[in-house]
Amino acid sequence: MDEKYHPEKIEAKWQRHWEEKKLFQAKEDPTKEKYYLLEMYPYPSGAIHMGHMRNYSIGDVVARYKMMRGYNVLHPMGWDAFGMPAENAAIESGVHPAKWTYENIDTMRRQLKRMGFSYDWEREVATCDVEYYKWEQWFFLKMCERGLAYKKRSLVNWCPSCQTVLANEQVEGGLCWRCESEVTEKELDQWFLKITDYAEDLLEYCDKLPGWPERVLRMQRNWIGKSEGAEIRFPLENSKEAIPVFTTRQDTVFGATFMSLAPEHPLTLELSKGTSQEGEVREFVERVKRQSIIGRTGEDTEKEGVFVGANCLNPMTGARMPIFAANFVLMEYGTGAVMAVPTHDQRDFEFAKRYGLPLIVVIQPPDSPLSEETMTEAYVDEGTLVNSGQFNGVDSVAAREAIVKYLEENGLGGREVNYRIQDWGISRQRYWGAPIPIIYCDRCGIQPVPEEDLPVVLPHDVEFTGKGGSPLAECRDFVETQCPKCGGDARRETDTMDTFVESSWYFDRFASPRYNGGPLDKEKVDYWMPVDQYIGGIEHAILHLLYSRFFARVLKEFGLVRDKEPFTRLLTQGMVIKDGAKMSKSRGNVVDPEYLVSKYGADTARIFCLFASPPEKDLEWSDQGVEGSFRFLNRVWRLVYENHHWIKETKPNSGATPIDHDLRVLRQKVHKTIKKVGEDIERFHFNTAISAIMELVNALYQFKPTENGDPAERLVFGEAIEAVTLLLSPFVPHIAEELWEALGKGESIIKTPWPDYDREAIVEEKVLVVIQVNGKVRDRVTVPFSMEEEEIKGVALEREKIRRLLHDKAVQRIIVVPKKLINIVCA
RNA sequence: GCCGGAGUGGUGAAAUUGGUAGACGCACGGGACUCAAAAUCCCGCGGGGCUUAAACCCCGUGUCGGUUCGAAUCCGACCUCCGGCACCA
């Protein structure tokens, strides 16, 4: 052991050792309890950043701790390797996306290895490998068979900058999740996955995931957006047809005085055809369609519309209702048609006021009655029904139920549930992704690629112009093919799949990453899945984490996996902040982990991330904090260096000698620390676990051993040093291994069981009792642990200071919290 | 607008969930070692009052109330910041 701590020497040494001994290779072993720990895999952008560093440091503590606890741990790592930055690099600098991606992977793998993370690299997966994405194509075919994947022409979100379609989940506040451009609408033929079939189940199971943060579950519930209400059919005037609407306020149906249609609603143009309104309607629809999502749905966009030239009838009253096209009605939600009740819906109120449409109050509030003439805004709360025929006098909540029944009985509609969530659009008009395995034949229509023809390999030689349109469409060798049904000339689908499809099942693939008999080796997946602990950023709360839950359900139906919830526990870690903002290249406030490792070593970088704040909170970067962490490791190093010679020689059983008070206190501190660190790791309080170890180290510095080495002292002190080393090892594994070796231990520290604390040793002999008078701390007294309540009261009342405080007061009661506190209440 | 979360020293944070507020670290101040510096080690460090000093007292967890013997923690109202959803019928 060197006198000085040189991280660069020891870190490389132990990384080599772990790799040579294959210490992190996971093997299925039914006799051992498995623990599947997973951190969200990175996109190979070129370099590991602080966010990764933090995420993976957190994960590594848990992995190593569980290994020492005797679990059979699976801790894999891979690459979310398809995606646009690779393609953009190709457009900008001419490097092929594959070359760019694989080189980045090499760099980042090297960086991760330099951090000493306990990954099973044998299981590494890159999603751009054909061996990976061919199974994704296989899933797609199976989903087509079951109608879970389908193609439809629809309005989709289009990012003009990325030149591709985005899923609803990828539009954040009207902006592209990746480049923050304003998203527009476009009508395109697209492939969708039927996540809506699972909306109810996904929602229901939000209540059955106790290991997930409430915040994430709430976001998912919100996103699924379940509304219960009714469908009501409004007959068209002079026609047999009717317009169905969805409403959650069927109790207000008697107050519906007009109808609003989405501009994209097929009836909008159809009804206006041949009327004097036709031109105006057409113009309006065209104008609305051209708007961006923000322009269309922003909160300050004014409500406007146009009469389509036709009317429908209120099914309850028979009253004639003019039909409008209105910009605020969305085609994607409900039926794209809304019954307008201006008195009890604010949007309808504003619209009615603008176009001079009639108001009928049908809900009266309990206090001050409403009148159509004086209302200045809609009344949207509950009340009693009026102007509602047979339902007059009924409470609005009860009326919702009664009216649903009436609708059903009279064939006018019925109960209906609606979800905000839409099917997942997965077509991307980009090159660097998994090709959608579909062939178009002019004679036979849409033909799935036969399973035996998989994979549909992404061609290598294509041109990257950045001009828009998928490069695959320009690649004749790829596009031109034969129809699997008739054998005639046919064309391949040139869109690729959303990269979130890859990440929806990579955790399953880690269980059998090289399996070739199918996507998953059932036996192995059943052994490892579900993921016991998943760790990653909150930004995936509704993207990846919802898609993965959907995929798990589908895979379960295919009989490929056993569980429909893939992640038992989830930890969402906070961002890394510097100078008040998230670290990012554009802000210029990044700290490169590579630099940190070069200057201080991986262990310092790791322990800083873990110590500075609890994992779920944002981490404020501090250069001095890093220095402090490095200082602490040096302190530990010196402590062991100065003592390792004699500790190595101390035989475990050499001293049955009785130990004195100071030693007993030290030993108690050791075992209390063992207890606390274990408990803190279990509940992910790494910062307090580390501070507890620091306290122990401080106590060992305070403890001055006698000159010629009392055997009992050597025993206790030696035990303490070993405990410090063991407890530190999940956090700072390299230095721990080196110190462990210096202490004369043969086996790698990762193979050493986590220490148990001695229950006897932590028993308190004396306990500090706080004495309060009327809730204010006035004195403290140390009493024997076993002292009875009554006796403690006596001791407290006898205290000089307490007597002085109480001399002219009458004691009313005394509250005793055993071993902790006594509160004397007096007048 | 709706739904969450969070506000604690100069600073990052503790307080295992109603029982000593500020552990541990950083910064800062003082001391030891040194010719000197760095490194290291030791001591101090919420604010105020009183004091040579100690002892002691008061205030203090965003603000104002409440519950309780006792509140950073529970309840109500408000303020500020952050996040999610949002013309969803």
Gap from A198 CA to B48 C1', in Å? 63
Nucleotide nearest to A293 (CA to C1'): B87
- pLDDT tens for A50-105 read 999 999 999 999 999 999 999 999 999 999 999 988 998 898 888 999 999 999 99
Nucleotide nearest to A623 (CA to C1'): B26
- pLDDT tens for A508-567 read 999 999 999 999 999 999 999 999 999 998 888 888 999 999 999 999 999 999 999 999
Q: Average pLDDT, whole number, for chain A?
A: 91
Nucleotide nearest to A340 (CA to C1'): B89
User: Which parts of A613-660 fold into alpha helices (H)?
Assistant: 623-649
Pairing of strands A413-419, A226-235: antiparallel
Q: Is A128 helix (H, G, I), strand (E, B) or coil?
A: coil
Nucleotide nearest to A635 (CA to C1'): B40
- pLDDT tens for A108-131 read 999 999 999 999 999 999 999 999
Per-residue pLDDT, A804 = 82
Gap from A626 CA to B31 C1', in Å? 26
Gap from A801 CA to B51 C1', in Å? 20
Nucleotide nearest to A698 (CA to C1'): B24
Which helix (H) or strand (E) segment is A613 a member of? Answer: none
pLDDT class for A458, splitting at 50, 70, 90?
very high
Per-residue pLDDT, A656 = 55
Q: What would the two tokens of residue A533 be? A: 């602990």
- pLDDT tens for A196-230 read 999 999 999 998 898 998 889 988 998 998 999 99
Gap from A20 CA to B5 C1', in Å? 46
Per-residue pLDDT, A299 = 59
Q: A250, A406 in Cβ contact below 8 A?
A: no
CA A369 – CA A297 distance, rounded (Å): 33
Q: Which nucleotides of B are covered by protein (CB under 7 A)?
A: 3-5, 12-16, 19-21, 23-27, 39-43, 56-58, 69-71, 83-89
Measured from Cα to the C1' atom, the residue closest to B14 is A688
Stretch A645-659: mean pLDDT: 69
Nucleotide nearest to A825 (CA to C1'): B69
Per-residue pLDDT, A784 = 87
Nucleotide nearest to A822 (CA to C1'): B19
Measured from Cα to the C1' atom, the residue closest to B40 is A635
Q: Is A209 helix (H, G, I), strand (E, B) or coil?
A: coil
Stretch A686-692: mean pLDDT: 95
CA A401 – CA A398 distance, rounded (Å): 5
Nucleotide nearest to A330 (CA to C1'): B88
- In single-letter form, the type of residue at position A187 comes to E
Is the pLDDT higher at A423 or at A704? A423
Residues paired with A783 in a beta bridge: A767
The single residue listed with the structure tokens 């409430």 is A214
Gap from A767 CA to B52 C1', in Å? 36
Q: Is A568 helix (H, G, I), strand (E, B) or coil?
A: strand
Gap from A775 CA to B75 C1', in Å? 20
User: Which parts of A78-213 fold into alpha helices (H)?
Assistant: 84-93, 97-115, 130-145, 199-204
- pLDDT tens for A598-650 read 999 999 999 999 999 999 998 888 889 999 999 999 999 999 998 888 888 87
CA A383 – CA A575 distance, rounded (Å): 46
Cβ atoms within 10 Å of A486's Cβ, excluding its own: 13
Per-residue pLDDT, A709 = 67
pLDDT class for A466, splitting at 50, 70, 90?
confident
Nucleotide nearest to A260 (CA to C1'): B89
Stretch A718-739: mean pLDDT: 96
CA A715 – CA A699 distance, rounded (Å): 16
Measured from Cα to the C1' atom, the residue closest to B15 is A688
The CB-side HSE value for A449 (13 A sphere, CA atoms) comes to 22
Per-residue pLDDT, A61 = 97
- In single-letter form, the type of residue at position A8 comes to E
Gap from A200 CA to B15 C1', in Å? 41
Q: N- to C-terminal Cα distance for chain A? A: 67
- Most confident residue range from A26-35, A588-597, A650-659: A26-35
Helix A711-728 / helix A686-702 crossing angle, nearest 10 deg:
160
Per-residue pLDDT, A541 = 84
ipTM: 0.94
Q: What would the two tokens of residue A633 be? A: 């490791």
Q: Give the whole-number percent of chain A exceeding pLDDT 90.
A: 68
- pLDDT tens for A147-186 read 999 999 888 888 888 888 888 888 887 788 878 888 888 8
Q: A42, A105 in Cβ contact below 8 A?
A: no
DSSP letter at A254? G
Per-residue pLDDT, A542 = 86
Gap from A488 CA to B68 C1', in Å? 85
Measured from Cα to the C1' atom, the residue closest to B87 is A328
Gap from A421 CA to B37 C1', in Å? 67
Gap from A536 CA to B2 C1', in Å? 28
Q: What would the two tokens of residue A385 be? A: 């029904």
pLDDT class for A706, splitting at 50, 70, 90?
low
As separate numbers, helices (DSSP H) first and strands (DSSP E) second, chain A gives: 26, 34
- In single-letter form, the type of residue at position A22 comes to K
pLDDT higher than threshold 80 for residue A143 = yes
CA A353 – CA A35 distance, rounded (Å): 63
Gap from A687 CA to B62 C1', in Å? 26
